[in-house]
């Protein structure tokens, strides 16, 4: 079946537009009905595995209570005492039955109306296919506000449902001077798809540490996630992400420093095996002077898998004295695996310091021999080396993330 | 310490070996017994480091012919990790930096691999910390180095001390120390040498690969071998190293030429 037909059929299968996301749903559906799904001719999608992408359209989006009972992943490690957990169940209004810590509130209708879609516009992603897919199908919104000058921790878990496609949407406003340590966990399920749109607005002097643990771990699991962040001056945003175990995953962080004068740190890791494809397409734009970016993207590809990184940095004329460093480091563990990495720097301002680099290598033989020569067996030596390789990203996650056992997962299934 | 009844630890016979299809060792013969300290000296490129890598089982080096026996067993078929576990230790000339791998964890895993071979119990984190703290004293090393990544950002001297620390933990039967003295200042050389002396036991043996006689002032070798063109061309006592220091390698060349003429 042609992808345009699949897209049309999918749009027809969606429930009528309704609720407070009605307007957003219409925007997404109209765009998709006019533009259809991307093709190999679209630069941002040309390396994408379109068969897998179609699973977002072919899996049913309507979820019954029975599905939640039987096909919803619901066993998780115990939550931390000082970190409230929100589990997003796509069949319920996620705000129900959750304990929010003091200092975090849900947005009222007026605040939602004022802010929804705004960051999508300011980060210039309103015509992105990933975003439109989410807009078209999201029916619930988790909308939170972190109150000014407070210091908070929060965990948001988003499980998948077997044989279903789900869309979730989060809007997060962090008020002036607040600190937030946010840990998000995406979990895959057998033959499932999940699509997330997370909009975050950081007011001035905010510090947000955003850990994103995206673990597919099941056959035929797919994920698309867009994180759109608007940073005000003097804010600090650290995004640490790990993608692993997805048959198909696409991660799109879109960050704008709206007045410059802010700091962005991104540490990303994607690990693929068998025939998986995981892609990160990041874009950071500086709309004012003195902005800082430190970006490290790591990938490890084994067997027949494919890792993709596309890192755009935009420094317009008004963003003088920007300091941006981007590094893409990749490990290719098999002859048949593939890594595509592409930095894209668009620099107009003349007084800036921007660096970028990309390396693709294999595990170092001399490092391996050193470990072997101390009596450590081959398998253990390889896993120590991989752990060392992951460390630059993993070490930025909060200690409480370890209970999701992702480190073992990252090492377990990689064979040299 | 040496007696005629001492057991042979390492026996190398007519060893030929190559790297990247180029033959480097052209027939090395060496016999090392319990309690002995051997020094191997020679110019750059004479094959000293190659010999050490071949004994340790580096995969880039290929043995073309000859044999290496460790306590009567042929080790050429053994993997590098198996050779290490039975008690062969290579101290690296350039210890490798491994970012992200904790030195403490690395030392613990390595120590336990060797202990398993010796049928000793595996050490858990706490037990190991006690052991390593005690062994750190041998090389006068700051415990802070345990928290860092393996050799990452270590100075030349710190790397070499870390090598001797590994030797202290693994308690090898034979230690081949490849230019352990290079890049060390006088104090560090003294510490490293004293560590090696402390760790030398009547039932172990040491091979020191070095360019300079100064290490041999601190550690007295029983035998000094001179290597040239992938062969041991002369063997003598400590005096040979002193002669070498005084006259350079030219006297060896002359000596070798004289021998050739005579034959």
Query: Digits of tens for pLDDT over chain A (416 positions)?
Result: 566 788 999 999 999 998 889 999 999 999 999 999 998 899 899 999 998 998 888 888 877 777 777 777 678 899 888 899 998 877 665 555 678 888 999 999 999 999 999 999 999 998 899 999 999 999 889 999 999 999 999 999 999 999 999 999 999 999 999 999 999 999 999 999 999 999 999 999 999 999 999 999 888 999 999 999 999 999 999 999 999 999 999 999 999 999 999 999 999 999 999 999 999 999 999 999 999 999 999 999 999 999 999 999 999 999 999 999 999 999 999 999 999 999 999 999 999 999 999 999 888 889 999 999 999 999 999 989 999 999 999 999 998 899 999 988 888 766 54
126-185 in chain B: CB under 8 A from chain A: 149-150, 166, 170
Under 8 Å between Cβ of A136 and A25? yes
Residues in B closer than 8 angstroms to A372, CB to CB, are 57, 79-81, 84
Owning domain of residue A245: 3-64+78-258
Closest to A254 measured CA to CA, from A313, A340, A186: A313
User: Which of A367, A375, A389 has the CB atom closest to B81's CB atom?
Assistant: A375
Asked whether residue A318 is assigned to any structural domain, the reply reads no
A365 contact B CB<8A: yes
Pairwise pLDDT comparison (B54 vs A5), residue with the higher score? B54
pLDDT at A212: 97
- A84-88, B153-157, B256-260: which has the minimum mean pLDDT? B256-260
B51 touches chain A (CB under 8 A): no
For residue A97, give how far its alpha carbon lies from the nearest alpha carbon of chain B (Å). Answer: 41
Q: Which chain B residue has the Cα nearest residue A392?
A: B100
- Distance (Å, whole) CA A72 – CA A90: 10
CB contact B23 to A (< 8 Å): no
Cβ burial, residue A204 (10 Å; 0-12/13-18/19+): middle
Sheet holding B174-178, edge to edge: B88-91, B174-178, B205-209, B37-42, B223-228, B231-236
Q: Which residues of B touch A365 (CB under 8 A)?
A: 59-60
**What is the arithmetic mean of pLDDT over B177-186?**
90
Write down the pLDDT at residue A92: 64
CA nearest to A83, candidates A311, A410, A399: A399
Report pLDDT for B182.
87
The answer, for A411 touching chain B at a CB cutoff of 8 Å, is: no
A189 and A218 in contact (C-beta within 8 Å)? Answer: yes
Q: What would the two tokens of residue A203 be?
A: 């007011």
What are the residue boundaries of the structural domains of chain B, listed by start? 8-262
| Interface A-B: count of C-beta contacts within 8 A | 79
**By the CB < 8 Å criterion, does A387 face chain B?**
yes
Q: What is the pLDDT of residue B167?
A: 96
Cβ separation A367–B98 shorter than 8 A: yes
Residues 6+ apart with CB under 8 A from A82: A153
Question: Chain B closest CA to A393's CA: distance in Å?
Answer: 10
The contacts of residue B160 (CB under 8 Å, 6+ apart) are B91, B95, B180, B181, B183, B184, B188, B192
Tokens for A347?
Answer: 């620099």
Residue pair B168/B134 in contact (Cβ under 8 Å)? The answer is no
Q: Which of A361, A371, A374, A391 is the best substitution to test chain B (most B C-beta atoms within 10 A)?
A: A374
Please return the burial class of A254, using the count of CB atoms within 10 Å of its CB with bins 0-12, 13-18 and 19+: buried
Sheet with B22-33: list strands edge to edge. Answer: B22-33, B8-19, B61-70, B73-74
Retrieve residue B247's tokens: 């006259």
CA dist list (Å): B217 to A143, A241, B49, B205, B211: 75, 55, 22, 18, 13
Q: Of A242, A224, A296, which Cα lies nearest the Cα of A264?
A: A296
- Cβ atoms of B48 and B40 closer than 8 Å: yes
B99 contacts A392? CB cut-off 8 A: yes
| pLDDT, average across residues B166-191 | 93
What CATH architecture is B8-262?
3-Layer(aba) Sandwich (3.40)
Nearest to B100 among A375, A378, A387 (CB): A387
Of B59, B99, B149, the CB nearest to A369: B59
For chain A, the domain total comes to 2
Phi, psi (deg, nearest 5) at residue A137? -115, -10
Does residue A134 fall inside a structural domain?
yes
How high is the pLDDT of residue A353? Answer: 96
- Helix-strand-coil split of chain A, %, nearest 5: 25, 40, 35
pLDDT tens for B79-106 read 999 999 999 999 999 999 999 999 999 9
Question: Nearest Cα to A223, choosing from A236, A212, A235, A207?
Answer: A212
The rounded mean pLDDT for chain B is 92
- pLDDT value of residue A416: 45
A86 belongs to a structural domain: yes
Percent of all residues in chain B with a pLDDT value above 90, rounded to a whole number = 81
Q: How far is CA B239 from CA A124, B225, B243, B256, in A?
A: 79, 11, 6, 18
* pLDDT score for A94: 52
A384/B109 Cβ within 8 A: yes
At residue A302, the pLDDT reads 93
- Do residue B114 and residue A375 have CB atoms under 8 angstroms apart? yes
Question: Beta strand pairing status for B8-19 and B61-70?
Answer: antiparallel
Phi, psi (rounded to 5 degrees) for B45: 85, 5
CB nearest A378 (choices: B81, B85, B106): B81
Q: Is A380 on the interface with B (CB under 8 A)?
A: yes
What pLDDT band is residue B3 in, cutting at 50, 70 and 90?
low
**C-alpha pair distances (Å), B121 with each of A160, A169, A275, B114, B134:** 45, 53, 42, 10, 18
């Amino acid at each position: 079946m042609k992808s345009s037909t699949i897209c049309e059929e999918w749009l027809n299968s969606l429930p009528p537009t309704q609720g407070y996301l009605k307007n957003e749903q219409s925007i997404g559906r109209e765009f998709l009905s006019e533009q259809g799904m991307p093709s190999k001719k679209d630069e941002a999608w040309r390396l994408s595995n379109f068969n897998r992408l179609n699973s977002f359209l072919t899996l049913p989006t309507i979820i019954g209570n029975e599905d939640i009972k039987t096909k919803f992943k619901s066993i998780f490690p115990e939550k931390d005492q000082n970190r409230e957990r929100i589990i997003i169940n796509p069949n319920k209004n996620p705000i129900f039955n959750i304990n929010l810590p003091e200092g975090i509130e849900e947005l009222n209708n007026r605040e939602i109306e004022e802010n929804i879609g705004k960051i999508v516009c300011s980060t210039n992603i309103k015509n992105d296919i990933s975003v439109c897919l989410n807009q078209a199908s999201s029916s619930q919104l988790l909308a939170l506000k972190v109150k000014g000058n407070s210091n908070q921790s929060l965990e948001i878990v988003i499980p998948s449902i077997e044989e279903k496609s789900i869309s979730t949407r989060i809007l997060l406003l962090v008020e002036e001077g607040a600190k937030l340590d946010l840990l998000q966990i995406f979990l895959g399920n057998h033959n499932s798809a999940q699509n997330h749109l997370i909009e975050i607005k950081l007011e001035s002097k905010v510090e947000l540490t955003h850990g994103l643990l995206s673990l597919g771990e099941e056959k035929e699991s797919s994920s698309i996630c867009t994180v759109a962040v608007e940073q005000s001056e003097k804010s600090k945003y650290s995004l640490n992400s790990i993608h692993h175990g997805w048959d198909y995953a696409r991660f799109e962080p879109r960050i704008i420093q709206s007045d410059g004068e802010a700091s962005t740190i991104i540490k990303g890791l994607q690990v693929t095996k068998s025939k998986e494809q995981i892609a990160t397409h990041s874009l950071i734009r500086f709309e004012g002077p003195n902005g800082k970016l430190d970006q490290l993207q790591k990938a490890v590809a084994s067997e027949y898998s494919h890792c993709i990184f596309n890192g755009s940095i935009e420094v317009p004329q008004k963003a003088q004295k920007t300091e941006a460093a981007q590094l893409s480091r990749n490990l290719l563990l098999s002859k048949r695996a593939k890594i595509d990495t592409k930095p894209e720097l668009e620099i107009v301002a003349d007084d800036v310091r921007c660096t970028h680099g990309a390396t693709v290598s294999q595990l170092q033989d001399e490092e391996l021999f050193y470990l072997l020569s101390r009596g450590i067996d081959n398998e253990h030596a390889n896993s120590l080396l991989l752990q060392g390789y992951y460390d630059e990203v993993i070490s930025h996650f909060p200690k409480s993330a370890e209970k999701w056992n992702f480190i073992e997962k990252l090492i377990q299934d990689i064979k040299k | 310490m040496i007696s005629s009844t001492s057991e042979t630890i390492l026996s190398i016979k007519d060893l030929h070996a190559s790297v990247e299809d180029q033959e480097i060792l052209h027939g090395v013969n060496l016999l090392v017994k319990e309690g002995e300290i051997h020094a191997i000296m020679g110019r750059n490129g004479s094959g000293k480091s190659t010999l050490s890598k071949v004994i340790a089982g580096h995969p880039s080096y290929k043995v073309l012919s000859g044999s290496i026996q460790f306590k009567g067993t042929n080790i050429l078929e053994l993997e590098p990790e198996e050779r290490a576990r039975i008690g062969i230790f290579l101290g690296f000339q350039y210890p490798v930096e491994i970012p992200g791998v904790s030195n403490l964890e690395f030392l613990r895993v390595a120590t336990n691999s060797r202990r398993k071979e010796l049928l000793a119990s595996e050490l858990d984190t706490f037990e190991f910390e006690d052991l390593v703290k005690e062994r750190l004293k041998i090389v006068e090393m700051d415990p802070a180095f345990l928290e860092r990544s393996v050799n990452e950002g270590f100075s030349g001297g710190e790397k070499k001390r870390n090598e001797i620390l590994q030797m202290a933990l693994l308690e090898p039967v034979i230690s081949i120390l490849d230019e352990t003295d290079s890049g060390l200042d006088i104090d560090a050389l003294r510490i490293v040498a004293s560590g090696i002396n402390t760790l030398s036991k009547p039932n172990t043996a040491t091979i020191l690969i070095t360019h300079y006689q100064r290490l041999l002032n601190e550690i007295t070798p029983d035998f000094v071998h001179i290597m040239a063109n992938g062969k041991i061309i002369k063997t003598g006592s400590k005096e040979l190293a002193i002669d070498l220091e005084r006259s350079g390698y030219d006297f060896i060349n002359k000596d070798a030429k004289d021998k050739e003429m005579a034959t």
